[in-house]
Structure 1
């Protein structure tokens, strides 16, 4: 428990002044909660004294006690208000900072790190887990600390009345603590399993929703939902098992507290009957015995939640401990944009994709990369953009090893247009602004016109303020592609990577895309992965990749005059592009 509290305090260390103030105010509020009981019992004493003729019950006494009770209630309200305004927002501020930190981390890790973790894990970490942390942390911390401090004060107070009362309270706490230790042990064992179940369930939901079009088109709702139902069933079984394991420990914890209440009541009654304790004091202690253990009883649930918070913190820590791909990088500025691969090898896990490839791309030239599917073409572009690091060899941009750059300082020199365009669920304007967040309206419109998408944007109901669906689902493939080109044009980077940018475009839109690409690439260093002859033929050099190696290089005219993979490729493309309906 102490270990977990220390971890949570480290997470909130930036706000420790407000945190400690809130804990102190919460503790004082709990102590003030006893004042009405004391005043009520004191009133009983005054009534008894008055009835026995030992003293006269003056109205001023009633007024004084009423004033004390009212004052304690008002002070509790004031302290609770101050605590809420000063402390309750800490968890929200920490959660916001953690979300931003995770966002920054994900930008600086390799794509391999993202692929090793499933989407459900990231989704739950940033949403469900942090929301749980946000809502529970302050309540749990206050509850546990208040409970134990309040209990310590109570036991000391009871010991002042009688060693027997203090001993009974200590024995009750010992039995309760044994139960709490068992609860903590069970929670520590079960929380990671529960977290894994939540991640699996989130991942299955994401896959099910994303694949809904495929599910419907193949009429496989039952097959597709099997994984989802299994995840739901597994989550149910885990939660039921946790409750069953939790129940005996909880019963032991509560038994200790109830036995403590019973023992204090009996001891107090005996002391009163033997004349060793005033009746009013006995009444107060008996009433108090039913209240004093309430705080420690509520710590039961808090301790269970504390273990779950520890699992969340552990998960967040695993993300934050990810190694930055540019941890040794510097903010490098370059004025030359030639590219060179020197004996570069790379693979995903144990599968080798590129093997000792070397080539040079001079500044302001176009290099086309062709080859069979899976030969490593896209991987070359990913290594250049440093989405991954090469296992062996060196990649240079402008005479500098890409490992010398920070991700930001490298990627500010590169614009990328992918075959599978992703647009964010936002306005078209903001999607274009991704290329240059501080661009003016005139710059946005100029980029859109150059990318041949201004006209169709203006035909939309809200123009540039039109919100597109997630991934750009409300636009056609050609429209999405042109917006992505406008985004790249607005960035105006000196190096442009086109990864199958026209592969899935219909003939009606292809000429518009080609015009947009022509505007984008003018005067740049270009790498283009393409299968269309018109794109390949005009390249300054062509690299033919097969099984991770450069098997041919040269211009179109040079390569078609050689027997090899490129000539066979061109022959196949000419047949495919020259087909007609008879």
Structure 2
């Protein structure tokens, strides 16, 4: 990892657009020079009037008009070059912004799923959006301002020292003090600590906000307010407190910065008056003093922008650390010599796996061995936390196993290139996720290069073509914000359509009918039946009625396989599966009504009354 930090590291991460940034800097420098021309023209006009103060009629009117025209031209050229420099800097900023977000997104896409489970959505979102957004602000706005200020300062200081050293020093003193205060604020350890705390609290607030929005139905049902969602409320208060603390810390420094830059003339005038008092008749020095008083605003005004630049650099330094923290995470290792399987049996060979960094006896999986054969259904059942979803997530290598091996055919999945492995396995998750896009695009994501007729065929196979056609805009109907909202069963069928379109040889179903009503469940079962033909199917099931015909049922408990057979054999074994089946049948037959004792008392009362 590089030792560079701050803006330098940010540009290195993003991939610098050197040509555009150089052009923008040159245009900003030219703009700075041109924007000083009106000040210089005013000085020469005033000098002409000062030299003829006793007889103003003798002043060269043509000369003053000429300087007036020069001032107008300088202002016009300065504004045009400023606009051109800003346009170029914005083009560079947006290209860098795009490159940085693509780089981060691609990197996150190659990280193990466990990394995403261990980091809040709000924290990742903040890094991808707010921290990365700072580069656009810096490149598009602050960088041209910085060049403009630097060019103005260098040119003016050179001219000032040429005219009078003491007046130049008086002009520079407040600038040095102002920038010393800014540097002290930016580089101080207290600032770094408070800024980190403020960013951390913002990440926690973003994460809590996501949870709050997801839990909004429960909040509304129980008539609660934001205060009832204690974590979100506390995170908001904490962020407010850190923000106020940070503002209080910068208040005095910002005030000193503004006062010093706005008071350059107050430093120049006493020195000028003192020197002039020693030679009151010196018209030449009076002209020089006039130059300093006129040009002081020309050097101080653009420097006010540095205050905002300092704030941006502080945020960039903190944001770069968080970006580097993501980029430092290691990808799932890719094989040096990738292999492709020729058959699609899935074999677990003495697999043990832990979600933590250390392997213990309480891990998610312990010594798991089985083979899910192509063309057959292998079902995973067991209580929550038994390890069913872990097995399903290890097949596409969302994590790497701690011990043992997982093979597709005769090839260890660690020897298969990640894109090839992803093309080999299709998922239908318990909780479907639809993008804020059209239904067509939500299905086509299963295979983006598929022709339209195959997308429509997949929708028909997934039993969702009919309800899509009945929507106002059919397949062009948008989901989510500004569009329609589908039921849980309809969303599941869209997920099945994706899997049908992908047509991968290995299919993993994570309780695909969990949230469906009876009618939707029937439709989904029909869709799944078509989807599972000739594939290696691993299904996680809580509704045991859906896996009675499975060729192999694995009963999980505490990360181990405790039973494995077909449905009938497991029932006859009178083990854990038989107890689960009995409980399932009892629950399936339950209905709301009077209890048994209430019924007996009612019958007795009727008999006595008769």
Counterpart of 1:41? 43
Structure 1 position 299 matched with structure 2 position 306: yes
Counterparts in 2 of 1:472 and 1:509: CA distance versus 1, 3 Å: farther
Counterparts in 2 of 1:473 and 1:369: CA distance versus 1, 3 Å: farther
Check whether the contact 2:86–2:144 (CA below 8 A) recurs between aligned residues. Answer: no
1:471 CA displacement: 13
Deviates more, 1:215-224 or 1:200-209: 215-224
Structure 1 position 481 matched with structure 2 position 492: yes
Counterparts in 2 of 1:406 and 1:187: CA distance versus 1, 3 Å: farther
Check whether the contact 1:330–1:404 (CA below 8 A) recurs between aligned residues. Answer: yes
Q: Matches of 1:327 and 1:146 in 2, distance apart?
A: 47
Match of 2:114 among 109, 112, 115: 112
Structure 1 position 363 matched with structure 2 position 370: no
Q: Matches of 1:339 and 1:217 in 2, distance apart?
A: 45
1:497 CA displacement: 0.8
Deviates more, 1:230-239 or 1:374-383: 230-239
1:222 CA displacement: 5.6
CA root-mean-square deviation: 2.7
Structure 1 position 338 matched with structure 2 position 345: yes
1:150 CA displacement: 3.0
1:348 CA displacement: 2.3
List per-residue Cα deviations over 1:133-171 (Å, max 9, x = no partner): 423443222333433443233333222222322333443
Counterparts in 2 of 1:503 and 1:236: CA distance versus 1, 3 Å: closer
1:307 CA displacement: 0.6
Check whether the contact 1:331–1:409 (CA below 8 A) recurs between aligned residues. Answer: no
Match of 1:90 among 89, 92, 101: 92
Deviates more, 1:105-114 or 1:398-407: 398-407
Counterpart of 2:67? 65
Q: Matches of 2:394 and 2:5 in 1, distance apart?
A: 42
Counterpart of 2:327? 320
- Equivalent residue of 1:72, what SS? helix
Aligned residues between the structures = 581
TM-score (norm 2): 0.88
Structure 1 position 506 matched with structure 2 position 517: yes
Check whether the contact 2:505–2:536 (CA below 8 A) recurs between aligned residues. Answer: yes
Q: Matches of 1:560 and 1:114 in 2, distance apart?
A: 39
Match of 1:212 among 210, 216, 225: 216
1:525 CA displacement: 0.9
TM-score (norm 1): 0.92
Structure 1 position 244 matched with structure 2 position 244: no
- Equivalent residue of 2:344, what SS? coil
| 1:553-568 superposed matches below 5 A | 553-568=564-579
Check whether the contact 1:424–1:472 (CA below 8 A) recurs between aligned residues. Answer: no
1:332 CA displacement: 4.1
List per-residue Cα deviations over 1:388-424 (Å, max 9, x = no partner): 2212221111222222233321010111112222222
Check whether the contact 2:90–2:139 (CA below 8 A) recurs between aligned residues. Answer: no
| 1:118-129 superposed matches below 5 A | 118-129=120-131
Counterpart of 2:201? 197
- Equivalent residue of 1:291, what SS? helix
1:63 CA displacement: 4.0
Q: Matches of 2:440 and 2:16 in 1, distance apart?
A: 37
Counterpart of 2:444? 433
- Equivalent residue of 1:43, what SS? helix
1:40 CA displacement: 1.5
Counterpart of 1:461? 472
- Equivalent residue of 2:368, what SS? strand
List per-residue Cα deviations over 1:86-107 (Å, max 9, x = no partner): 2222222222222223322232
Query: Can you give the 5+ residue segments of structure 1 that lack an aligned partner in the other structure?
Result: none
Match of 1:571 among 572, 578, 582: 582
Counterpart of 1:539? 550
Q: Matches of 1:112 and 1:394 in 2, distance apart?
A: 18
Q: Matches of 1:270 and 1:93 in 2, distance apart?
A: 54
Counterpart of 2:434? 423
Q: Matches of 2:34 and 2:544 in 1, distance apart?
A: 84
- Equivalent residue of 2:343, what SS? coil
Q: Matches of 1:272 and 1:100 in 2, distance apart?
A: 63
Check whether the contact 1:268–1:285 (CA below 8 A) recurs between aligned residues. Answer: no
Q: Matches of 1:66 and 1:505 in 2, distance apart?
A: 79
Counterparts in 2 of 1:580 and 1:74: CA distance versus 1, 3 Å: closer
Check whether the contact 2:5–2:320 (CA below 8 A) recurs between aligned residues. Answer: no
Q: Matches of 1:54 and 1:426 in 2, distance apart?
A: 74
Counterpart of 2:192? 188
Check whether the contact 1:49–1:55 (CA below 8 A) recurs between aligned residues. Answer: no
Counterpart of 1:447? 458
- Equivalent residue of 1:88, what SS? helix
Check whether the contact 2:134–2:312 (CA below 8 A) recurs between aligned residues. Answer: no
1:377 CA displacement: 0.5
Counterpart of 1:16? 18
Check whether the contact 2:437–2:478 (CA below 8 A) recurs between aligned residues. Answer: yes
Match of 2:422 among 411, 414, 437: 411
1:490 CA displacement: 0.6
Q: Matches of 1:418 and 1:575 in 2, distance apart?
A: 27
Q: Matches of 2:326 and 2:297 in 1, distance apart?
A: 46
Q: Matches of 1:300 and 1:382 in 2, distance apart?
A: 50
Counterpart of 1:286? 293
Counterparts in 2 of 1:4 and 1:101: CA distance versus 1, 3 Å: closer
Query: Can you give the 5+ residue segments of structure 2 that lack an aligned partner in the other structure?
Result: 594-610
Q: Matches of 1:361 and 1:162 in 2, distance apart?
A: 89
Counterparts in 2 of 1:251 and 1:573: CA distance versus 1, 3 Å: closer
Q: Matches of 1:222 and 1:151 in 2, distance apart?
A: 51
Check whether the contact 1:5–1:141 (CA below 8 A) recurs between aligned residues. Answer: no
Match of 2:163 among 161, 164, 187: 161
Counterparts in 2 of 1:147 and 1:91: CA distance versus 1, 3 Å: same
Counterpart of 1:378? 389
